């Protein structure tokens, strides 16, 4: 099992990202939700389809961010993979994830503030 519950490189051949890590939600989760949502598309109104497309785009954006986080923190913190993480590697990964989340929240909040200013 890879970092953050993903699978190690080489065990999943259905994507071509070249990352050392895969997030656990990357596999069938989005396919399952897309498939179940696709059954409703036949009789759905235009607004419903647009909402579903927007939701799928948000899921994709989130998965891309998680992939980027995994790849960046792994490359930064883990030298040579072994059967377990050292204390230094674990601390580095925790700090890396915390910084990534803090930065993302800061940027998101700043854009929200700017959007409110422009809306006045």
Judge whether residue 38 has pLDDT over 70.
no
Phi, psi (degrees; rounded to nearest 5) at 50:
-60, -40
pLDDT digit string (tens) for 58-111? 999 999 989 999 999 999 999 888 899 999 999 999 999 999 899 989 999 999
pLDDT digit string (tens) for 111-120? 999 999 988 7
What span, in angstroms and rounded, lies between the C-alpha atoms of 53 and 65? 18
Regarding pTM above 0.75, the answer is no
């Amino acid at each position: 099992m890879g970092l953050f519950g993903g699978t190690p490189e080489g065990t999943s051949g259905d994507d071509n990202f070249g990352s050392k890590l895969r997030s656990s939600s990357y596999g069938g989760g989005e396919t399952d939700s897309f498939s179940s949502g696709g059954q409703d598309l036949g009789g759905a109104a235009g607004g419903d389809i647009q909402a579903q497309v927007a939701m799928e785009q948000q899921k994709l954006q989130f998965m891309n961010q998680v992939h980027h986080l995994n790849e960046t923190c792994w490359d930064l913190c883990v030298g040579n993979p072994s059967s377990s993480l050292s204390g230094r590697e674990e601390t580095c990964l925790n700090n890396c994830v915390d910084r990534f989340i803090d930065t993302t929240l800061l940027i998101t909040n700043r854009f929200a503030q700017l959007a409110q200013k422009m809306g006045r």
